[in-house]
Amino acid sequence: MKHKFVFALLFVSAGVYAAPPTLEPLLNSIAERLEIADQVALSKWDSHKPVEDKKREQEVIASVTAQAPSYKLDPAAAEQFFAAQIEANKLVQYTHLSDWQFQGKAPDEPRPDLIKQIRPQLDELQKRLLQQLADFIPHRADPQCPQWLATAVHEPLNDPLRQLAMIRATAELCIYIG
């Protein structure tokens, strides 16, 4: 189940300007967070807990909105971004759980502890994502932004679930001005 996606945004084609260097690390961290969703799904499978965890989601959103100003981010922008990350992660979890129900079993892989191992990993990644989002903010309104994202999430992925999850996770990164 281990996937490692690294986004290399070194493209320049007719009418498309190269993506800013701040986008690649942001996409890689988003992909890393989606990889952790695999571990969360295994934990949920073993514990028979539902994917939906409103309390935890509210804690994450409250944390990012509180931290946003220290990264020079608008709290609403941080909330919107992390809500998308949560939704993308749930998409991965629901898909895995459905697949495992169909197969009658989950993969035989080591199971990290949700509370002691996975959540601290997510909390640490949250700080990096906030900084990377802040670094990318000046480019959100660039007219090429939607093209950068579309190219990045469609080209390197041969896994439809990862592609769909990345599309969901990045859906609100660009600001449409029109």
Domain segments of the chain: what residues?
Answer: 23-170
pLDDT score of 168 more than 60:
yes
pLDDT score of 152 more than 70:
yes
Distance between first and last Cα of the chain: 41
Task: Say what the pTM is.
Answer: 0.88
Average pLDDT over residues 33-51: 95
Return the pLDDT at 69. Answer: 98
Return the pLDDT at 177. Answer: 65
Which residues have C-beta within 8 Å of that of residue 21, sequence separation ≥ 6? none
Architecture of domain 23-170: Up-down Bundle (1.20)
C-beta separation of 125 from 161 below 8 A: no
DSSP string for residues in 47-74? HT--S--HHHHHHHHHHHHHHGGGGT--
Average pLDDT over residues 154-167: 84
Q: pLDDT (tens digit, 9 = 90+) per residue, 76-87?
A: 999 999 999 999
Exposure string over 52-88, b if 16+ CB within 10 A, otherwise e: ebeeebeebbebbbeebeebebeeebbbebbebbbeb
pLDDT score of 71 more than 60:
yes
